[in-house]
Each structure stands twice: as C-alpha cells, then as structure tokens.
Chain A
Amino acid sequence: MRFTSTIIIALRALRRNKLRSMLTALGIIIGVGAVIAMVSIGNGAKAQVEAQVASLGQNVISIFSGSFTGGGMRGGWGSAPTLTVEDAEAIASSVPGAIAVSPEVRDRNQILANGLNWNTQVNGESPDYPTIRSWGMASGSMFTEQDVRSVGKVAVIGKTIVDQLFPNEDPIGQTLRIRNIPFKIVGVLAPKGFNLFGQDQDDVVLVPYTSHMKRLSRRTNVSSILVQAATPEVIEKVQQEITDLLTQRRKGKEPDFTVRNQVELAQAATATTKTMTLLLGAIAGVSLIVGGIGIMNIMLVSVTERTREIGIRLAVGAHGSDVLLQFLIESIILSSLGGILGILLGVGSSQLISSLNGWPVLVSSTAVIVAFVFSAAVGMFFGFYPARKAAQLDPIDALRYE
C-alpha cells in the first residue's frame, strides 16, 4: 500500500509540473544524445581517416633475395638469385596471417604498340598485386590465376603507358609488344601519380610472373615477394613466421634473404589512430560533463524549489523515506525516459550528419551504455541528494523554507 501510493504520488508530482519534468528529461536527452552523436560521428570520421591511410597500401611485407658477391663487389638486395616461386607458394599456404602473396620479377624493357614505342618498367606479378598495393582498376580487369598457370600473354598497363602509346583510343583488347612478344591488354590501372620519391608509379606494365619468367626475363628465381598481412597488429608476427619458414626451407644454410615491412606507413597509421582515439575521448568527455552539469542544474533547482512541498508532505504524515522514495521514483522515470529518447536522438542525428557527409555511421554500444548510465546516475544523484537533505529537516523548517 505504502509503495503503490508512493508511485501514485510520484506520477502525480511529475504530471503536476509538466514543464519542469520536460526540462529535467531534456537535460538527460541532450546529455545522452550529444555523447552518442559525437562519438558515432567521431568513430565514422576515424574509420574514414583510417581507410584513407590504409589505401596507401598498408600491412605490406617485402621479402628480397640476398646480395650477390662476386670479385669483391657486393650487389645489394635482390642481386642474388635465391628466392623462388616455391618460397612464395609456401608462404601463401602455411603463414595464416598472410592474406595476399605476389612473387615479383622486375626489369625494364622497350615496349611497342600502335606504331609508338616507350621504355618502361615491366613487372611480373600475381593477381593479388592490386589488392596488396590497394590499387584499383580504371577499366578492364586484372589478369587471373588462370593466366598465371597458363603463362598467358596478357598485360595490365598504367595510366602513363596509355598516355604514351594509346593517346586517343581505348587500349583494352589492343596488343602490346614486349621483346617482340605480343601481349593482349586486359586492364588499365587507376592513376596513382608520383610516389614520395618522385617516381611515376603509373609508368608500369604488369604481366603474370610466370609469363615474365618464361617469356621475357628467362630466369628461374624471383627478385622479391610481396605479402599483405591481415591487420597492422599481426605484421610483426607474420614477418617472424615468414623468416622462420624461409630459414627452415634453406635447411640451416646462411639466410640469403631479408624481410622488411613499411614501418613508416605503419607508424603513421598507428599515430593517426591514436590521435583520433584521443580526440574522440576528449569530445565524449566534454559532452558528458556538459550534459551532466545541465542535468545537475535542473535537478538542484527543482528540488530546492520543492522544499516547501516536502515540508507539507512531512506535516501531513509522510515519513522521510516516503519522500525519498517518491523523488527516487521520479528521477528513475525521468532518467530512463530521457535516456531512451536521448539514445534515439543521438543515433538519429548521427545518421543524419553522416548521410550528409557520406561518412560511415559507427554507433558504439559502449558510448550508448556509458552515456546512459552516466546521465541516469547524475540525474538520480542530484535528484536524490538534495531531497534527502530536505527530508531530514524538521517539517516546520521545510515549511518555512523560501
């Protein structure tokens, strides 16, 4: 009886002052909504920035063959013919973190097409190469695993080759002669421009590595192997596994290869992620504090204003615990209603903003829970604490309170 009538009393008190109830709930709505919106938008932006960094070709591990030494002259990485296609196949099949592998054979050649000629880089690669380098196709498609197996005479060319040899026509399906061997052009790479060192990355022709080895360079070894690790976190592990695997394949002989990763790029990516996470944390923290202060203010003001009401209730026979229970029920109702509306508002507004910006929306459940719990706790504490003080007054003091 006492509990049910307290619920009736609390509901009547909420209904009695609709404006105050709405303002209190609004404080919580804004608090929860702001945190969720800011964190979701921030998460979207973070994912976007990370995707842009990743598009530079992330998580790439390069394996070079050892250096060739002859007559006192040392040849530098890749000069010794020690890496094989079998090494690449072993890496692909027994290193789980390696999601893409491309044996690489490179040399420069004079190429002819359309009555024009051009000296360029001709690389033998596997079909994984565009994935590893995060390199899209402008038109046509990459050659396939089938082309690798059949030692196919197919080629994919860069933007510069198109400009130099096919100035006014579609190169797809046309023939390109390398060392007088005709290759059919199946795809054009998306333009990538110059790299950090001023080299034109689009000045390139890609052919299957088997075709390069058997038809062009006539060699049995590869100059390097490119490997893509699944995530930045596993790079170190994959690198170690590759080293172990290749060492084991050489059966105790002196290691004649070197394994490197893109430390600089990986560091940049990590630093970016760190900065964005820090920024997000700061935004969420500020939103929480602002929201919390808003809730605190409205609760403190309304409870102080209600000291007389508490006095009347005590005078007509309410126990202190009745008054406390009433205020607790009121704040629970307002906090949970406000919290739910705040979640809807936060998710809705972040959806809207990201659809306007074309960002991905990432509503974090942690943010939802933290914002809700924090706002509800602040609302309940500042609704409850002053009410507790008022309920401990003598009724006559509470009644006289102005």
Chain B
Amino acid sequence: MAPVVQLQDIHKTYDSGEVKVHAVRGVTLNLHKGEFMAVMGASGSGKSTLMNTLGCLDRPTRGTYLLDGIDVAKLGRNELADLRNEKLGFVFQGFNLLARTTALENVELPMLYGTGHGSPGEIRERALHCLDIVGLSQRADHFPSQLSGGQQQRVAIARALVNQPQVLLADEPTGNLDSKTSVEIMGVFQKLNEEGITIVMVTHELDIAHYCKRNLIMRDGRVVSDIQVENRNMADVEMQKLLTAESNAKLTD
C-alpha cells in the first residue's frame, strides 16, 4: 500500500530581509496509514516548519510532497484549502478555538466549509458524535471559557476529526497542559490511532513521545534519528499509576 505522506528532499528557507533562515534542509520521509509518529527536537530544529509543511499551511521551497498521492506543489490556494478541509485535521498548542462559540459549533466549523458535508442536521449529528468520541458530549453547549485546558484541547481534537481526515496533525498538543491532562489527551490519541487514524505530533517532551509508535528527532533542519518505540507508554496504565501515586500521597498526609 502506498504511503499516505511522501516527502522527498524537502527544503524550506525563510527570507526575512538580509538573513536567510534555512529551517528545513532536505527531509525525506514516508508515513503509512495507521502510524503514530512524534517529531522531536530543540526549538529551531525545524520541527514546526516541517509540521506546517505537512499541514499544507506553508509550502516547501524545494522538494516534493505527495499527500494521498496528490502533488501538493501543483495546487492553488483554494485547492490547498479543500485539501486541508478533507484530508487533514489540526490540533494546535494554543487550542485555537473560536471564542464565545459553543463546543458544538466549534466542532461543526470544518464541515461548514467544503462541499458534501450534508444537511445542518447531519452536520450537527456528526459533530455530536465526534464530541462523544473525545468524551465531551455532555459539554456540547459550553463555551471554551467554561472548559478546562484539557477539555478545550479535546474539543479541538473533535474538530480535527470531524471531516474523517487521512492524517491528524498535532503541534505540541500537550504543551499548555499539566501532566495528568497530558496523559488524558495522549489516551485520546492512542484510542483514535487504534481505530486506524494516522497521527503526527510535535513535542519536546520525551515521555510524551513515548506514547507514540515512531519517534523522529530533528536537529538543524535534518532528521538525525528515526526509530520505532519499544515498550511504549500506554495511557490507561500510566493514568492508573498517577492515580495510585496521588492517593498514596493523600494517605501519607
């Protein structure tokens, strides 16, 4: 089976006046369906740029990117928008939910753009279903300001899922969350991955990367390590450990 994502010698140069910043210097990468990959690296290593390229939010300066067999370089602005709408789902570090908009309406948003997403009733039903997957169907009518960070991130994940994307892209999804909530979010990702969704996430936390199946480490715009994770963390086990530790702490108090 052909890989979902094929990157061939990708370069990205930012031209900010006199200084040229070479953020990504030749990355070649294949990603198959059902993979769960963490991209790691220090800040400035090019991982976010790679992520934005994968997400079609930014175009590479050089190299080819085939998403689901389509050459992204040949597409115009609107075709890229449709591609993002149909084949990709985004989860951002800062959640990026629309303020003063209910969780349900935030999840519906990608379905209001693009074509063939059905009647308003069907859209609503599908959005509720996605909120159910992330365990937030009870909070459909809440505004982001009424939700905790973990809950907001789960709304963002539901929004990313709603158009049944080929690849789910997450840029430091746990960056703004405490460790327990991070485990919760990783649990959601693992569950989705088990259901067959391909996930790529950026993180700089080693323990978070250990929940993934494949770890990619970048330095100075190049891939320096690409390994399969052995003995990876499972969210339910880790959560159990955390809870036990918590209750022990309370007992000794």
Contact = CB atoms under 8 A, between A and B. Distances in A.
* Residue of B85, B113, B115 contacting most chain A CB atoms (<10 Å): B113
The 8 A-B pairs of least Cβ separation, nearest first, read: A317-B85, A316-B110, A396-B57, A5-B112, A317-B113, A16-B100, A318-B113, A319-B78
A105 B70 CA distance: 106
Given A317-B113, A394-B58, 10 more contacts: A1-B115, A6-B112, A8-B120, A16-B99, A16-B101, A17-B100, A316-B85, A317-B81, A321-B78, A399-B92
Contacts of A394: 57-58
B81 A318 contact: yes
A203 interface: no
A237 B77 CA distance: 70
B113 A12 contact: no
Contacts of B163: 317
Interface string B22-63: 000000000000000000000000000000100101100000
B100 A316 contact: no
Contacts of A319: 77-78, 81-82, 113
Contacts of B101: 12, 16
B109 A316 contact: yes
B98 A309 contact: yes
A325 to B, nearest CB: 11
A318 B57 CA distance: 12
A2 interface: yes
Contacts of A311: 96
B172 interface: no
A373 interface: no
Nearest to B83: A317
B96 A313 contact: no
A309 B101 CA distance: 11
A12 B96 contact: no
A320 interface: yes
Interface of B: 52, 55, 57-58, 77-78, 81-82, 84-86, 90, 92, 96-101, 105, 109-110, 112-115, 120, 159, 163
Which of B52, B81, B85 has the most chain A CB within a 10 Å cutoff? B81
A213 to B, nearest CB: 89
Interface string A308-352: 110111111111111000000000000000000000000000000
Contacts of A16: 98-101
5 contacts: A8-B120, A314-B81, A317-B113, A317-B114, A319-B78
Nearest to B115: A1
Interface residues of A, number: 27
Contacts of A314: 81
A94 to B, nearest CB: 77
B58 A313 contact: no
Interface of A: 1-2, 5-6, 8-9, 12, 16-17, 308-309, 311-322, 394-396, 399
A8 B77 contact: no
Nearest to A5: B112
Given A315-B90, A317-B84, A322 B96 contact: no
Given A1-B115, A319-B81, A399-B96, A313 B57 contact: no
Contact of B113 (A308, A313, A395): A313
B58 A9 contact: no
A320 B109 contact: no
A315 B113 contact: no
A314 B81 CA distance: 7
Contacts of A317: 81-82, 84-86, 110, 113-114, 163
A316 B83 CA distance: 9
Given A317-B85, A320-B78, A8 B98 contact: no
A312 B110 contact: no
A2 B113 CA distance: 7
Contacts of A320: 77-78, 81
A1 B96 CA distance: 26
A224 to B, nearest CB: 81
A308 B96 contact: yes
A309 B99 CA distance: 9
Given A309-B98, A316-B113, A396 B84 contact: no
Contacts of A316: 84-85, 90, 109-110, 113, 159
A321 to B, nearest CB: 8
Contacts of A315: 55, 57, 84, 90, 96
Contacts of B159: 316
A169 B192 CA distance: 110
A2 B112 CA distance: 8
A1 B113 CA distance: 9
B112 A9 contact: yes
Contacts of B112: 5-6, 8-9
Contacts of A318: 81, 113
Nearest to B58: A396
Contact of B52 (A6, A309, A312, A396): A396
Contacts of B97: 312
Contacts of B55: 315
A395 B120 CA distance: 26
A16, A309, A317, A322 interface centre (most CB from chain B within 10 Å): A317
A391 to B, nearest CB: 10
Which of A12, A308, A309, A394 is the most central at the interface, judged by chain B CB atoms within 10 Å of its CB? A12
Contacts of B90: 315-316
A164 B90 CA distance: 102
Nearest to A8: B112
B164 to A, nearest CB: 13
A12 B57 CA distance: 25
